[in-house]
């Protein structure tokens, strides 16, 4: 049983570019959440998707957007990249029937130069 | 708003020493509480959880008790191993009913265990 998978593992972009990160949830999970983890910090919640809708959103600008597909996989898009967007981006999946247990992928390391 | 505060690291211990990592929280309602562990270059792994007051979560020799009166969820292990070296994150869930909500994390505590 595959866990949460994210792609790519690493990514290097330059300021002003756009990036798309991908996440496949654990089998049986229907909810996907995205977090940003800056170096030496705890993860910060970006947003959560359920039934292809954004259900909750953290304190991130509109440059950060997402999508969930009918198979529950998800994408995180970041436009107009800034140097400060350099971070580890973590995807977590959960089942709507299980109380709050989120399982994380290994993350995508984004470097903005 | 809801928040989590952890003791600052790094924490350096000798093998077989006793471990305590303090975690306190601020929250409205009755959040679930978690400890996650992050090994170098990896994502977060759920270590243990507690969903209501006085619950004790345990896994791999680690324990934490949900103390509502002191708003704490301290992580303990009686005898650490070199393989326990990692960063530990305390978190609470901002959920409504049984719907999964966002996790709010502390800043993390790095643990280094020396042979």
Contact B101 A100 (CB under 8 A): yes
CA distances B92 to A6, A73, B4, B24, B77, Å, are 24, 25, 7, 10, 20
Give the list of residues 6+ apart from residue B69 with CB closer than 8 angstroms, or none: none
As beta bridge partners, residue B38 has B44, B87
Which of A6, A58, A96 shows the shortest C-beta gap to B99?
Answer: A96
Query: Are B109 and B12 contacting, i.e. CB atoms less than 8 angstroms apart?
Result: no
Residue B16 buriedness (CB in 10 A; 0-12 / 13-18 / 19+)? exposed
Per-residue pLDDT tens over the stretch A21-59: 999 999 989 999 999 999 989 999 999 999 999 988 999
Q: Is B98–A97 a contact, with Cβ atoms under 8 angstroms apart? A: yes
Chain A residue with the nearest C-alpha to that of B39: A106
Closest CA to B51 of B106, B100, B105: B100
Chain segment B1-33, per-residue pLDDT in tens: 889 999 888 999 999 999 999 999 999 888 899
CB contact under 8 A, A106 and B93: no
The tokens of B87 are what? Answer: 């960063």
A108: three-class secondary structure by DSSP: strand
- Supply the pLDDT for residue B100: 60
**Burial degree of B1 (CB within 10 A; 0-12, 13-18, 19+):** exposed
Q: How far away is chain A from the Cα of B78, in angstroms, using its nearest Cα? A: 25
**Chain A with chain B: Cβ pairs closer than 8 A:** 72
């Amino acid at each position: 049983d595959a866990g949460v998978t994210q792609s790519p593992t690493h990514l290097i972009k330059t300021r002003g570019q756009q990036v798309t990160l991908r996440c496949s949830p654990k089998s049986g999970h229907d909810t996907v959440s995205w977090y940003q983890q800056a170096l030496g910090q705890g993860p910060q919640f970006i947003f959560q998707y359920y039934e292809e809708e954004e259900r909750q959103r953290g304190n991130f600008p509109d440059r950060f957007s997402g999508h969930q597909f009918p198979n529950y996989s998800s994408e995180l898009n970041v436009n107009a990249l800034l140097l400060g967007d350099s971070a580890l981006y973590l995807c977590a999946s959960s089942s709507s029937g299980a109380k709050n247990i989120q399982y994380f992928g290994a993350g995508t390391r984004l470097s903005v130069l | 708003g809801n928040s989590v505060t952890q003791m600052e690291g790094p924490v350096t211990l000798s093998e077989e020493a006793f471990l305590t990592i303090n975690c306190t929280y601020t929250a409205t309602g009755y959040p679930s509480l978690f400890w996650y562990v992050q090994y170098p270059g990896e994502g977060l792994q759920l270590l243990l959880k507690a969903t209501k007051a006085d619950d004790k979560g345990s896994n791999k020799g680690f324990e934490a008790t949900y103390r509502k009166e002191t708003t704490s969820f301290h992580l303990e292990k009686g005898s650490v191993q070199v393989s326990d070296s990692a960063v530990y994150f305390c978190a609470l869930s901002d959920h409504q009913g049984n719907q999964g909500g966002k996790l709010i994390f502390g800043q993390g505590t790095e643990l280094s265990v020396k042979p």
